[in-house]
Chain A
């Protein structure tokens, strides 16, 4: 589903390479975890996958279902089925969360040539998914992410993800800022979305999220390269020994 080949990239006018030859293949149904110390390039990788302006690929390619995504706009990638749950979700003042959800869903449906959902159909869907994530109707009336607590922001990201039903879910530090109860709710939400034709990339700094969302493959990203790949036990090892072993290797 996702193939990242020898990806090199930098941000803005600063020529310093942040990704220095990333290789990664994710198949449908798989859950991959990307772990790594702060500043290793995890968020940069997620932004590049989603197509953020200013993040420039200088070498390599990203294939999504066999086709290069590099020329696609962020909204085209979204419509094709790529979803990024942000580490820091952005505030949209004055726009009710509900309105945002509906606009996003219908924009994607339109781009795929599907009809818009009727309001009752949409409401039914939202209510169901919101309840699963412990999100109240009241919260959905509030402007998106404005004044949301850390936990509310992350749950709202997962709500969007489950509503949009993407093919590839990328989650950037979805566990940060969550207490254990909230972590459980979020992880359950993510697990419900696991399916044989959907792939997931879970980016995290800590192992604890992976107790709840158990990955098939774990990668260690350090200084812009994947320096080690293993099974879920790799995460436990990292938890015990820290990243020190890998930081040196990547130089």
Chain B
């Protein structure tokens, strides 16, 4: 299939697979047999036409994984995952969907309606190629938009493709960087991912290039269908800049429940990577049944001097979130940032935070975390800031704010600080607050309903982080936060 056609099909499938049908009906697909063993891994690697070294890499990870046990230190609890009951490879065929909308859970449809999903696609698509702000139909049907997008990147020398494609087209680049930030043996879920990852994105921005547009997974959305084990690798070479948006803004059902993604970022000298996520996987129903287990390893390596990596995340979905986007500040004068909004409602459990590892001189980091708990949820911020022996003048500022809505939820802050260098200065501020009755009454006296009042107060609470998001995401994120908190008062 020619690349352009492929992209168009993918963009089309956004609508069909992702938001209306894909999540309830078992997608007819090309599946590996249930369970995990070396044959399944060989099957995956062969299906993808991978080079021999990649298969070996996967197998080594698998053997390693067999010796590991699931971590239990996070403040989350869930039934034991039967790893041999899962499917590890499934490529959807192009005939998804129930016969009619009647077969779709009306509650989910309602959520989509509120989200105005098709509109959002428009915005994102238009936002990605700013010179082509056209209506959604035109975007979906127009070859030229997609072509412009591909060609503009090509002209700039930016590589943006699926990791499978990268393994075929740019094996040396992938081999050089894959696993260099999150080693194969890093942790239970990352090791599992290394063995079985299905697909994901690959970005390489060459020396001195400022990527001419925001890159977004919206163009690569089918990854979320094919695999629970995404693998993303982003490299900004010397002096390069790239902003990457990862959107999973539609709640989704997933038969397998488990997502274990790995994201690796590498910033060379003077390079900058900005990585934004809006995560809204299916959180489970009101009794806490179902929902996605999201065990993600995201790490950025500020490998070069003066490099910068910035994580911004808005987490509203998933039944369980276990996620600590981190920065290794290796290069002198490098900088790491983590801006996070984590919203939990119902029976959701979030254990999330970051690690800032200061290795180089004059490195600095900033952490702004806003946790909002409602319903019967538990929301934990877990962070580590460390300065190693050579990290002279390391600086960190951490601000952790928690907002509680209702009586039955919990907010916890677990900050760890370690310094082996006496010149390091770490500052930590934490607050816990509630939405007061007086605030609610004041807003309602001005005409806001209870839900509007909560949404407004919460949006005020998260403002510092929302401001870090690219415009088109910011609006959506605010809307999502309000929706996630519906039913949390009264």
Contact = CB atoms under 8 A, between A and B. Distances in A.
Interface of A: 50-54, 73-75, 77-79, 83-84, 86, 89-95, 99-100, 103-105, 107-108, 111, 143, 160, 164
Contacts of B442: 86, 89-90, 92
B246 interface: no
A74 B444 CA distance: 6
A94 B446 contact: no
Contacts of A79: 447
Nearest to B438: A90
Contact of A84 (B445, B457, B462): B445
Contacts of B436: 90
B79 interface: no
Q: Which secondary structure dominates where chain B touches chain A?
A: helix
B339 to A, nearest CB: 14
A103 B448 contact: yes
A73 B447 CA distance: 10
Contacts of A94: 459-464
A89 B438 CA distance: 9
Given A53-B441, A90-B442, A103-B452, A78 B447 contact: yes
Interface residues of B, number: 23
A103 B455 CA distance: 11
B443 interface: yes
B456 interface: yes
A94 B370 CA distance: 13
B437 interface: yes
B399 interface: no
A226 to B, nearest CB: 24
A102 to B, nearest CB: 11
Nearest to B442: A90
Given A105-B447, A107-B446, A108-B446, 17 more contacts: A50-B445, A51-B444, A75-B448, A78-B445, A78-B446, A78-B447, A83-B445, A90-B439, A90-B441, A92-B443, A94-B460, A94-B463, A95-B460, A100-B446, A103-B452, A104-B446, A143-B460
Q: Which of A52, A77, A84, A143 gathers the greatest number of chain B CB atoms within 10 Å?
A: A52
Interface in B420-439: 436-439
Contact of B446 (A53, A54, A91, A160): A160
Nearest to B458: A94
B441 A52 contact: yes
Given A52-B441, A86-B442, A92-B442, A104 B448 contact: yes
Nearest to A95: B460
Nearest to A55: B441
B490 to A, nearest CB: 10
B449 interface: yes
A192 B291 CA distance: 56
Contacts of A73: 444, 449
A93 to B, nearest CB: 5
B441 A107 contact: no
Contacts of B459: 94-95
A92 B443 CA distance: 9
The list of the 3 closest CB pairs from A to B, nearest first, reads A94-B460, A95-B460, A108-B447
A79 B445 CA distance: 9
Contacts of B462: 94
Nearest to A108: B447
A75 B443 CA distance: 8
A104 B442 CA distance: 11
A24 B244 CA distance: 63
